[in-house]
Amino acid sequence: MDSNKTKLAVVGGGPGGYAAAFYAADRGMDVTLIDPDVNPGGVCLYRGCIPSKALLHVAKLVNESAEASEWGIGFNKPKINLKKLREFKNGVVEKLTGGLGQLTKQRGIDFIRGTAKFKDRNTLEITRDNGDTGSLSFENAIIATGSQPIVVPSLAIDSPRLLDSTTALDLESVPKSLLVIGGGYIGLELGTVYAALGSRVTVVEMTSGLLPGVDRDLVAPLKKRLADQFEDIWLDTTVTALKAQKNGTKASFKGENAPGRDKIFERVLMSVGRKPNTGGVGLENIGIELTDRGFVRVDDARRTNIENVFAIGDVAGEPMLAHKASHEGRVAVDAIAGDNAAFEPRAIPAVVFTDPEIAWCGLTQTEAKERGVEVEIAKFPWGASGRAMTLGRSDGLTKLLIEPKSERILGVGIVGPGAGELIGEGALAVEMAAVASDLSMTIHAHPTLSETVMEAADVFLGHSTHYYRPKRKR
């Protein structure tokens, strides 16, 4: 490969990288995007967000067909055709990534399938997928290399029975028993899929609750539902050892709720978190600074300590969310273009795509307590929602965190079906500094779940139509 030059080199084609590359091209920049996959998409589209949501949709359908008997409708036990299910999941991925490939061409972006490593502050060493090597000179670069699953060294066994968040999505088979190590969102989402397909799922979480860090009142309805779907949920428990055997993997435990003996599982899913991909990129060659936790250190414009090198997405810090990466990419491009740009959102929505879904944005109740921020909590239970009742799902909750004096919305939390769709209004409210009366006076369609946001504001103001709480003193 001959030496090339580019205005902007983007290393990594995930939601942060391709969003940055597309936006830069739209702004008239000469852009080169480097990624090892056939088309842009990254972990999210190929091995994360999208394939897992396709499978979660199927899991929800299976579960709802079983629950329909309570409404007077009976179905035979679903027949699972794994080959067809994999084809559906893979088809979704191929359509989306193929579309991104077309958008890359339409924007005139030079897409290089391969890997990149910094040689100096203006040069990348490129290794294409066919083995060809060469160099690329750049004026500016954006590091968007993402993250990878964490493997606990003491539990790292060389066995195909040990899965991570990537291999679990391959869905090669449905094991009779599955041990999920880690009660975070990845473990619970994938555990939900396998349980719906017929696996006996056991979740082990080292802390005292599922989804550590998420407000307990939002987690409660999910925990109750998962208790029926999963074989066991062991909190305050750790896995101390894994040993491959002919008939499965033997796991040893310790902790307050640990079983009294070792247990054998057909498959084990390790989902204890993710770590940034900072190795093999040549960051040390140009003196890129890392934080104590191994993330690339960036400023508000996503600029590293090297003036012309930026970092976005998972590699630049938490939260590790695709939409956060995309917005960071736009900020970095604006900064490269000379604009006064800063990444300073008040509300980055987060969603756990289990059933029920959990979503939140802005300040959480847990954070408010830790930081000593005075807030008033207004909750509207879905047991008072007509739409939730028609869905047979009255266990949900919508809550607002409100600044008592100004009545400004500081945070929103929702648990229930479709919470991920509903949180958008909450994010807008927080970002726009809306007050409770803004939500109250916005007419919401009836009967809908979105009404619960309005009614939560009405609870705060003391005049919710469908839920009574004594009026607050002003």
Q: Annotated catalytic sites, by residue?
A: 446
Beta strands in 182-229 (DSSP E): 200-204
> Six-digit token pair at 87?
């084809």
Q: What are the phi and psi torsion angles at 3 (to 5°)? A: -65, 135
DSSP β-bridge partners for residue 402: 376, 409
Give one DSSP letter per residue of 93-115, joined into a string: HHHHHHHHHHHHHHTT-EEEEEE
DSSP β-bridge partners for residue 234: 204
| Amino acid present at 434 | A
DSSP state of 303: B
Of all helices (H) and strands (E), which one includes residue 126?
strand 123-128
Nearest Cα neighbor of 400 from 363, 443, 347, 367 is: 363
CB atoms under 10 Å from CB of 262, counted, come to: 12
- Label residues 452-473 b or e (16+ Cβ within 10 Å = b): bbbbbbbbbbeebeebeeeeee
Lookup result for tokens 């803004």: 438
Strand arrangement of the beta sheet that strand 263-265 belongs to: 237-245, 248-255, 263-265
How many residues are there in the chain?
Answer: 474
